[in-house]
């Protein structure tokens, strides 16, 4: 053993012997990251990168208030969540207070996958049914149930062929490149409602309709106006529940709204959240009404050893404090708006850059080879991400064609860093002849 960290290449070699191969890492030849500070990362060679993809570390890396809250709490108490402890109650109250009535009852878990799993089980317990409707091209997690409702072929190339029979799909409501584009996108909602009506007619009324409330996996495309209103009405009319997966888009990232469903003017029956709420610490939650939560009794009791532990609850409280005190939601609106304007400007000079989706600090930059056919520029997007890394920016593609840059930096990013990213992208597009 040596005190000096090994090179990125030799660590990668060691990794192949101990870490499951399917457990992914960014880049074929990744830098070895050693530290972070705000929206920046530093590798073992002292090279700094701008982190433009990190929607987990929402407050920024190495936040001093998280560091001191964690260290204080670890010295004081950390144990399973069954002890009667102040921070658990306080955090649940604060979380519920961010949501409209009747969403007042909290389950604390450790991840987004767990939250989605629990939300599905709650919907099944509340309705006594087992069929679920989800949206194509979505990702909701890796556990058995959260994976079952995920159909993103980027995450699983066989996703569409291998869903269990209780999972039913509606079209991806993509107004840019889906079956219905532009104004025609208004047709997705009535079509989804008729899938639900078809299930009722077939004697398999659904327990729930589950969707991200802002269409994340495809690159932050807003759902068509009124989409959730129509589909939630349809599922409720059929006696099912509406689940909003806010794991990626909730918690202030959209700038204008703390929760994605607010953008659609609806209130779900069950909300799932994770990622940003722990700033990298494993923390997730399901929030629902008291009456839905109580139906879980039919399944036995609910216990997660470390879900909402004293430490996790203190982290959760501190994250909410920092979002408020540093006005991070407002920053997402201001810096995100500036960034979107600059990116749209690039689109005027680079034909490859066809659209900038999203809002706040949840943007998707979509590259196409032809603006009429929308042929996805998949290889070009990969080359752009590789060049951006050399230029000091961490960026990754998303979407079923991997032709959209997922722009989701820590919410503390400033204008200067946003401009640095746009300049690097401009340069990469020039160099690659786009
Ligand atoms: N839902 C959505 C929308 C997600 O993006 C993710 C993670 N990418 C999950 C659920 C699963 O969360 P986790 O990785 O914390 O299990």
377-396: burial string, b at 16+ Cβ within 10 Å, e else? beebbeebbbbbbebebbbb
User: pLDDT tens for residues 209-234?
Assistant: 999 999 887 888 999 999 999 999 99
Q: How far is the CA of 273 from the centre of ligand 1 (A)?
A: 9
Q: How far is the CA of 433 from the centre of ligand 1 (A)?
A: 35
User: pLDDT tens for residues 369-421?
Assistant: 999 999 999 999 999 999 999 999 999 999 989 999 999 999 999 999 999 99
Using a 10 angstrom Cβ sphere, with 0-12 exposed, 13-18 middle and 19 or more buried, the burial of residue 289 is: middle
Alpha-carbon 321 to chain mean position: 21
The C-alpha angle with vertex 24 and arms to 18 and 29, in degrees rounded to 5, equals: 90
Q: Confirm or reject: Cβ of 246 under 6 Å from ligand 1.
A: no
Atom 5 of ligand 1, residue of closest alpha carbon: 248
Q: How far is the CA of 119 from the centre of ligand 1 (A)?
A: 13
Return the closest-CA partner of residue 249 out of 239, 238, 262, 240.
262
Q: Measured from the CA of 111, which atom of ligand 1 is nearest?
A: 15
d(CA 339, CA 422): 8
User: Span 187-212, mean pLDDT?
Assistant: 98
d(CA 159, CA 81): 35
pLDDT at 5 over 80: no
Question: pLDDT value at position 173?
Answer: 95
Q: Which of 217, 248, 406 to mutate to test the pocket of ligand 1 (most atoms within 8 A of CB)?
A: 248
Q: Confirm or reject: Cβ of 116 under 6 Å from ligand 1.
A: yes
Q: How far is the CA of 143 from the centre of ligand 1 (A)?
A: 10
Give this prediction's pTM: 0.96
CB neighbourhood size of 74 (10 A): 12
pLDDT at 146 over 70: yes
Question: pLDDT value at position 4?
Answer: 61
User: Span 301-329, mean pLDDT?
Assistant: 97
Q: Is 239 left (phi over 0), alpha (psi -120 to 50) or beta?
A: left
Question: pLDDT value at position 415?
Answer: 98
Q: Please tell me whether the peptide bond between 102 and the residue prior to it is cis, using omega within 30 degrees of 0.
A: yes
Q: How far is the CA of 151 from the centre of ligand 1 (A)?
A: 13
Q: Measured from the CA of 143, which atom of ligand 1 is nearest?
A: 16
- Report ipTM (2 d.p.): 0.99
Q: Measured from the CA of 113, which atom of ligand 1 is nearest?
A: 16
179-202: burial string, b at 16+ Cβ within 10 Å, e else? ebeeeebbebbeebbebbeebeee
Q: Which of 23, 135, 141 to mutate to test the pocket of ligand 1 (most atoms within 8 A of CB)?
A: 141
What is the C-alpha R_g of the chain?
A: 22
Alpha-carbon 8 to chain mean position: 28
User: pLDDT tens for residues 29-75?
Assistant: 899 999 999 999 999 999 999 999 999 999 999 999 999 999 999 99
Q: What is the mean pLDDT of the chain?
A: 95
pLDDT at 1 over 70: no
Q: Confirm or reject: Cβ of 216 under 6 Å from ligand 1.
A: yes
**CATH numbers and ranges of domains, the chain:** 8-59+327-431 (3.90.1150.10), 65-325 (3.40.640.10)
């Amino acid at each position: 053993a040596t005190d000096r960290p090994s090179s990125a290449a030799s660590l990668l070699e060691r990794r192949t012997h101990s870490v499951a191969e399917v457990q992914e890492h960014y880049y074929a030849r990744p830098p070895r990251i050693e530290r972070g500070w705000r929206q920046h990362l530093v590798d073992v060679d002292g090279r700094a990168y701008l982190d433009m993809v990190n929607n987990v570390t929402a407050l920024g890396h190495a936040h001093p208030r998280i560091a001191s809250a964690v260290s204080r709490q670890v010295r004081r108490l950390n144990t399973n969540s069954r002890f009667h402890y102040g921070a658990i109650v306080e955090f649940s109250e604060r979380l519920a207070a961010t949501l409209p009535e009747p969403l007042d009852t909290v389950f604390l878990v450790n991840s987004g996958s767990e939250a989605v799993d629990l939300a599905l089980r709650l919907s099944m317990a509340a309705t006594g049914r087992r069929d679920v409707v989800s949206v194509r091209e979505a990702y909701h997690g890796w556990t058995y149930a959260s994976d079952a409702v995920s159909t993103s072929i980027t995450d699983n190339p066989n996703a569409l062929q291998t869903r269990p029979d209780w999972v039913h799909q509606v079209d991806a409501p993509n107004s840019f490149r889906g079956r219905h584009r532009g104004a025609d996108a208004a047709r997705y909602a009535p079509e989804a409602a008729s899938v639900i009506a078809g299930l009722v007619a077939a004697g398999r009324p659904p327990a729930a309709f589950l969707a991200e409330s802002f269409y994340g996996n495809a690159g932050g495309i807003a759902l068509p106006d009124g989409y959730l209103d129509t589909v939630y009405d349809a599922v409720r009319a059929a006696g099912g529940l509406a689940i909003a997966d806010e794991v990626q888009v909730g918690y202030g990232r959209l700038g204008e709204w703390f929760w994605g469903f607010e953008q659609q003017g609806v209130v779900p029956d069950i909300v799932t959240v994770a990622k940003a709420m722990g700033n990298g610490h494993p923390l997730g939650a399901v929030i629902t009404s008291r009456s839905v939560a109580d139906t879980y009794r039919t399944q036995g009791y609910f216990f997660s050893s470390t879900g909402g532990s004293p430490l996790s609850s203190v982290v959760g409280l501190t994250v909410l404090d920092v979002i408020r005190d540093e006005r991070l939601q407002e920053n997402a609106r201001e810096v995100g708006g500036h960034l979107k304007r600059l990116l749209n400007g690039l689109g005027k000079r680079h034909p490859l850059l066809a659209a900038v989706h999203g809002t706040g600090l949840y943007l998707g930059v979509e590259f196409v080879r032809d603006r009429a056919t929308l042929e996805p520029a998949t290889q070009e997007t990969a080359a752009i991400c590789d060049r951006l890394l050399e230029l000091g920016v961490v960026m990754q593609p998303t979407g079923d064609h991997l032709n959209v840059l997922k722009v989701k930096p820590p919410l503390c990013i400033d204008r200067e860093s946003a401009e640095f990213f746009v300049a690097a992208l401009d340069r990469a597009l020039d160099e690659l002849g786009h």
